[in-house]
Structure 1
């Protein structure tokens, strides 16, 4: 007798992580399923969303999701992320799309070795400064160079939009206390973090094993998101703040969603993660097509799993 329930889709049949829409934020609605679609029901009616097209479903306050809907998302390799109001707090996420631990193993090996970690961190900074040689700069010099770049980016967009800019200042516990542009920046960054987090877990990497950031459960999320802020979230935030929006959080989410989708950021994010973790040759399929469960041996090789070695090896209990 087989395992009860509907068998999951084969991995090659799933929509690849970089081909999906970036994220969808829902709040104050009931999430269910209808065939292969997720349904969202609120006082305005019902919306159907194809589960295979979702990269990450952001579940805000007031949402209630059924077991069938969660099973459908998991079956299609989508990531559900439970977030706070306006999407600015992260609480939990769903499953990975990956069938192997290839990226995770590479990530753990790199972050645990000082020289390899330094190489990855330097590569992250080099991505912000194309055409410049950063190989001989210390981490302190790189942080200073990055800080100057971000300050310059803020000033440029403030001038472009006519926004008065003082500094990045916000209260994580009081979203409304910030001025419009700081509110928009917080909302925009939260959306980007959600999209990046979804890609990381979909590929089977660890959100907490960062190279520049460290010590936080989303350290690697912040590492990767920082690669795109100057291009995506900072200009979006200044644009929204300059538009005299009456709902900064919602307008910012929509603007980031459009920018992320139009800029094919998921494809870039997948490529960048693989480049960073699989140095020097990030080759092969993005999502390994079959399970590769093995047993580790202390002689630093692997043996096949799923068999009993009691008859072939000496066992001392």
Structure 2
């Protein structure tokens, strides 16, 4: 059994934008290619325990040889099971600079990467190599340690398909959250044609740290009448709120044009964040980002008794 500190993930992709987007996918039949059988046996169950262990390993995000782009070092922050593939989310380690393609080619033997076949095939391998030590000796890392990266908060966005404009607004909100270090699970990014939408919704609500419920007038109406995907999500939310009465997992996000704000009955009385068009939209968005990162508001110092 190998020491976990001596292992690293290699994610090799032929997609030139793989490490610049929101997530990345890997077909199940490409998992653990070019991995020693003894190492593979540690993780081949690919159950929750195995995936959690793999996410603790440092990861080399590389491109196939013909792409010629720089590699990055970081961690896998989330793994979502799909029908035929895994979907990954990831973070890069800021202390490790991008590795130029030519420099990476020179390090292939030290990294246990086959220079003929492996660099020409998208795959996920686990290597029995101390990645930090190799990069440090090559002058690409200031120390022989790669510290653990804090997992970004994962947020699921629940919304109704009111209009193309509203879907674009939701996408922009998701992009803004990602730019501020919040991992977002969004159907537009994570559901492929033919996938089970109900399963995606149930998993997103269950596994995410927080759920943003974009409460437009149409959303509220569908939630009240239990219509479509919104109605299904509302049933899941209601069930979890009944089990965990004091939970703050579900955050109503108001986007409405009328002055009298509406919420589904299950969310009535809960503190909401108003992102409707107006002068306070930006400050309210910053407040939401702080909340998702669990950053408490600083209290003023407690003064002396006046008497």
Q: TM-score, length-normalised on structure 1? A: 0.22
Greater RCO (CA < 8 Å, at least 6 residues apart): 1
Larger relative strand fraction = 2
